[in-house]
């Protein structure tokens, strides 16, 4: 399967397949980004599903 990488911001890129689905994501300098927050996890919310998941 072919996946195209799209750079969303300087800190984040996502892999999108030809079918339009997201197959991966990458946060650059994730430790630095988490250090700037007052928590040690991220919350991911796929809007299409209306669900959320914490990544620690």
What pTM does this model have? 0.55
Query: What's the rounded mean pLDDT across residues 29-51?
Result: 68
Integer angstrom CA distances of residue 51 from 4, 14, 46, 48: 25, 19, 6, 8
With cut-offs at 50, 70 and 90, classify the pLDDT of residue 36. low
pLDDT above 90: percentage of residues in the chain: 7
Q: 34 or 55: whose pLDDT is higher? A: 34
């Amino acid at each position: 399967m072919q996946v195209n990488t799209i750079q969303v911001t300087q800190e984040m890129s996502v892999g999108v397949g030809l079918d339009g689905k997201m197959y991966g994501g990458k946060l650059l300098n994730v430790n630095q980004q988490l250090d700037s927050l007052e928590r040690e996890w991220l919350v991911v919310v796929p809007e299409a599903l209306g669900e959320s998941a914490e990544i620690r």
